[in-house]
Amino acid sequence: MTEWIEVTTEDGPNGGATKRVPKAWDEYNQRAKHALQTLRDQFGDKPGFTGSGLETGDQAIAGYTVFQPVVHVEDDLAAEIPDEIDGVPVRIEPPKEEGVGLDSFFTS
């Protein structure tokens, strides 16, 4: 049986908005956030590391899609990135190009 918990989704002056989610989903996503921070700490200053973040993963827990850490790196650095951290798979993507994204869209 799925265990459910309330998590804060938004903080505000009069408290926060909450959402009821599966406990296992929340725990997994906390591990994904920790894995992302570990990747940033270990590789963020290395040449060839061009970006990182959390994106929607391929797995779901109790019907809720989990997050997955994603790193954008050059091929030389990709071999050093672990496949997973604490049971959370890491997705390796090609380097981000400069000027790609909303910032370049709005300044063009």
Print pLDDT tens along the chain (108 aa). Answer: 999 999 998 888 887 899 999 999 999 999 999 999 999 999 999 999 999 999 999 999 999 999 999 999 999 999 999 999 999 999 999 998 765 444 433 433
List the beta strands (DSSP E) in 14-106.
Answer: 15-22, 49-61, 64-73, 84-85, 88-89, 91-93
Closest CA to 28 of 87, 83, 82, 81: 87
What pTM was computed for the model? 0.84
The two beta strands, 84-85 and 88-89, are: antiparallel
- Identify the domain containing residue 25 by its residue range: 4-107
Number of domains in the chain: 1
> What is the DSSP code (8-state) at residue 64?
E
